[in-house]
Structure 1
Amino acid sequence: MKAAIKIEGVTKRYGSAEAVREVSFALSPGAVALVGHNGAGKTTLMKLMLGLVRPSSGTVSVLGENPAAGQFAARRRLGYLPENVSFNAALTGRETLAFYARLKGEPVARTLDLLDKVGLSAAGARRVGTYSKGMRQRLGLAQALIGEPQVLLLDEPTTGLDPALRLSFYEIVHDLGQRGATVLLSSHALSELEERAERVIIMDHGRMVADGSIDELRRIARLPVRFRVRPRAMPLSLPQGLGPVRPASAGWLDFEVDADRKIEALQALVCGGAPAEDLEVIPPTLDDLYAHFLRHQEPAA
């Protein structure tokens, strides 16, 4: 499948500081999570893809074009939601979307339907200055969706959204990915991304320290699997080397095993002399993987 975005050996310097250092990856249709602490290089990468800044070295290609070129026609097929959205407070929600639709050369009437998609149809006639932070975030998402973009860059997109609207947002992202769009999500909300991103890129101090699906990252990290067990009888009987067992919530016990001993532990708990009354198997989370790759990266030269 042809990559919509190609980053090859890209470094971006601001004076002596390297915001991005020797980063390479290619993005195909689907949802990709870009994660890292503040200053890891996530926003700089998005600015490079948008053509807002030029790489100090390396190449950037978006939909087959160089975004830093004078005529970046592919920009009309891009959608972007910055971390901090800002609109003219004197305009209404409808007027704001109409303004951005004209900038992109899209039909205004069809664009205004996006207000309903993000739950703002009832507030479309209100001035943006009266909107809450969550409402401005939804308006920003509607702006990013104008023209059904082939590439959608979203920087902290769910900030200020309530749980129901977050769910609706990820349904929109999933639908876009199914229709062939490439969606790049930069967020600190790792638990939200875990089940929704097909791929995760982890950044640290401008360097890419991990890249792959959640399952691939788990295989690379080889972190232990956590078991939470409600035993029928005590003491809990486990094969030698599994444990140690420690109390969790009332009536439950926790222990960890290496990933390659997960089946052995399950067999002991289900088929042993005193089977467990209930159990949960908890694989390493994205938070666990993120912490692992930051701890175990190679030191910078």
Structure 2
Amino acid sequence: MTNMSIELDAVSKSFGAVEAIRNVSLNIGQGEMFGLIGHNGAGKSTLFKLMLGLLPASAGAVRVGGVATSSAQFRQVRRRIGYLPESFVSYDNLSGLEVLHLFADLKQVARAECGRVLRRVGLADAATRRLHTYSKGMRQRLGFAQVLLGDPTLIFLDEPTNGLDPEGIAAFYGILREAQGRGATIVITSHILAEIQDRVDRLVMLDAGKVAALGTLAELRSRQVLPSHIEVLMRPGCGAGVEAALAHLPGLTLKLDGDQAGIACAAAQKAPVLAALATMLVDVTIREPSLEDLFLGYGGHHASAD
């Protein structure tokens, strides 16, 4: 498959006196599922539009598949891109199939493909229904269907699971994994951080238009000194011995409630903590810092990353 990596080299974008993107450099590799998060006003939408070639950079260069988005040649690259905006809007008086026919014509894709794509997103039975009868989740799936037309090699998704139920979300990511398996590069933004944290290969956190953090979830955890949380249930009567058993381990935070204990510790201390309590344990739950924890630790101003 043709390489569809994305390169941003010292990219900035200003709107008058407002600098929305500030000296951003990053590379998104061919076949990656890449996450983009940040609080309101962090520059996510602007960065999306720069990578799509919908906005020109004020400084720096954006290249997709080795082609500058500012060049005339980018028109050919754009034909291999699928894009779902945060709010998918179409004509309410058209059926789902007619909407896809419209997009197929725009993308120069055979209309015969539309039925297959509708089946793939679970809308085959609603193909001939008018959009005004569609629920929010059905509209979102129709928007995803138009993304899939032509088997794009680069997919941009802005808050793609709005309105989807848990089953729909699972199916959505299953389809994305299939596209990734064929070599598609996927860039996704979501305000539901728990949803994407175990699904993206790498991610970038934007803060005030700048890169606050970039890497895999494991890499971000290693750079942020955030505690692991261990919840333990002891054998009856053993709760009183927990504090003494852990006395040789410095820097722990311990909360006791009868035979249950909550322990916050450095990642390197998890094994020593469990070894010290081994003879008392009935059950253990370990929670590592979530993407939301990391987002807040890196300076995110809201618990969501909308």
Deviation at 1:177? 1.4
Q: Which residue of 2 aligns with 1:167?
A: 170
Deviation at 1:275? 2.4
Q: Structure 1 residues 295, 190: CA separation in 2 closer, same or farther (over 3 Å shift)?
A: closer
Q: Which runs of 4+ in 1 moved over 6 A?
A: none
The answer to whether the aligner puts 1:136 opposite 2:139 as a matched pair is: yes
Q: Which residue of 1 aligns with 2:5?
A: 4
The answer to whether the aligner puts 1:279 opposite 2:287 as a matched pair is: no
From 90, 94, 99, the equivalent of 2:93 is 90
Judge conservation of contact 1:242–1:265 (CA < 8 Å) in 2. no
How far apart, in 2, do the equivalents of 1:55 and 1:260 lie?
44
The answer to whether the aligner puts 1:294 opposite 2:299 as a matched pair is: yes
Q: Which residue of 1 aligns with 2:108?
A: 105
From 244, 254, 261, the equivalent of 2:262 is 254
Q: TM-score, normalised by structure 1?
A: 0.92
Query: Could you list the runs of 5+ residues in structure 1 that have no partner in the other structure?
Result: 297-301
Deviation string, structure 1 residues 61-80 (Cα, Å, up to 9, x no partner): 11222223345211111000
RMSD, aligned CA: 1.8
The answer to whether the aligner puts 1:189 opposite 2:197 as a matched pair is: no
Aligned length: 292
Query: Could you list the runs of 5+ residues in structure 2 that have no partner in the other structure?
Result: 302-306
Judge conservation of contact 2:231–2:286 (CA < 8 Å) in 1. yes
Judge conservation of contact 2:38–2:300 (CA < 8 Å) in 1. no
Q: What's the secondary structure of 1:74's corresponding residue? A: helix
Q: Structure 1 residues 109, 209: CA separation in 2 closer, same or farther (over 3 Å shift)?
A: same
Judge conservation of contact 1:98–1:112 (CA < 8 Å) in 2. no
Alignment map for 1:22-61 (pairs within 5 Å) = 22-28=23-29, 29-61=31-63
Judge conservation of contact 2:39–2:300 (CA < 8 Å) in 1. no
Identity of aligned residues (%): 39
Judge conservation of contact 2:117–2:145 (CA < 8 Å) in 1. yes
Q: Which residue of 2 aligns with 1:245?
A: 254
Q: What's the secondary structure of 2:67's corresponding residue? A: coil
How far apart, in 2, do the equivalents of 1:295 and 1:181 lie?
30
Deviation string, structure 1 residues 34-76 (Cα, Å, up to 9, x no partner): 0111111111111111111100001001122222334521111
The answer to whether the aligner puts 1:152 opposite 2:161 as a matched pair is: no
Deviation at 1:258? 1.1
Q: TM-score, normalised by structure 2?
A: 0.91
